[in-house]
Amino acid sequence: MPFKAAKAAIAKKLDPTFEDLEDQLEIWGKKRWAQKLRLKQHEWRGHQPYDLPPAVKTWIRFASKLNVMVQQELYLQARQELLFEELDRSPWAAEDIVDKQQEIKEKLRRFPGAIWREERNVYFCMLEIEDGPLKRAFRAHHRDKDWHLSKWAREDCAGMGGCCGRACGCCTRPRNDKRSNLIGHCSSMCLCCEKARGFSFVYLREPGKDPLCKIPIRILGPSVVKQYANTHVWGL
Ligand SMILES: [Zn+2]
Ligand SMILES: [Zn+2]
Ligand SMILES: [Zn+2]
């Protein structure tokens, strides 16, 4: 058996022992060491360390879409309130304003169900990641509620004109109190960014295709691939 294949076979055979060791490291507060051990095992199994499997890429796509949907919902609620104020100021334009309000109300009605479904999609994507050190690393990393706030991810958000470039802290806390488990970086539907930018984008109909949340892996080099994998899986 070639050396690489033998190493992969041994790493797989020792998986339960490694898992116990990782748990022990976490108990001792050495989370980073546990992640490094998982990354090593992933390599021993013959994988490129920062080459993410398709299930993780799908998870990222769904999670990004969910983040945009949460921001879209808030965006529409804010628009709705602005229309109420406009109605007070310009009662002669009531017919037009009420039509716009109806349109927004109709859109908003669909959000609770759509977000509920999307949260489940994200969960099912996580389940589809193959069992092993990478999945354990993914799960351990995501137990930290601030997993998305790596230096690189914050710089990326700031570079795209997002709130990480300002002192508002929007990406570090839930944007919607009713959805306190959903935290993420800015999309084109971030209201705070819109105020800072001074102009609006066209309302985004397809939350999965936000130009501000595109996956940079396709256009940039290996150092970004590494940072990207670290942000989403390894946390190193
Ligand atoms: Zn902000
Ligand atoms: Zn951000
Ligand atoms: Zn923002």
- 41, containing H or E segment: helix 31-44
Distance 97 CA to ligand 2 centre (A): 33
The one-letter code for the residue type at 173 is: R
* DSSP 3-state of 170: helix
Distance 150 CA to ligand 3 centre (A): 17
pTM over 0.75? The answer is: yes
Distance CA 87, CA 94 (A): 6
Distance 130 CA to ligand 2 centre (A): 29
Distance CA 3, CA 147 (A): 36
Q: Which of 182, 156, 183, 189 is nearest to 169 (CA)?
A: 183
The model's pLDDT over 92-133, given as tens digits with 9 standing for 90+, comes to: 778 888 888 999 999 999 999 999 999 999 999 999 999 999
Q: Which of 99, 100, 86, 111 is nearest to 189 (CA)?
A: 111
What sign has the CA pseudo-torsion 197, 202, 207, 211? negative
pLDDT in tens, the chain (236 residues): 688 888 888 888 888 999 999 999 999 999 999 999 999 999 999 998 888 899 999 999 999 999 999 999 999 999 999 888 888 887 777 888 888 899 999 999 999 999 999 999 999 999 999 999 999 999 999 999 899 999 989 998 998 899 999 999 999 999 988 888 889 999 989 999 999 999 888 777 777 777 776 655 555 667 778 888 999 999 99
Distance CA 210, CA 75 (A): 14
User: What pLDDT shows up at residue 227?
Assistant: 87
Place of tokens 């349109």: 103
Distance 154 CA to ligand 2 centre (A): 5
Distance 26 CA to ligand 2 centre (A): 28
Distance 190 CA to ligand 3 centre (A): 5
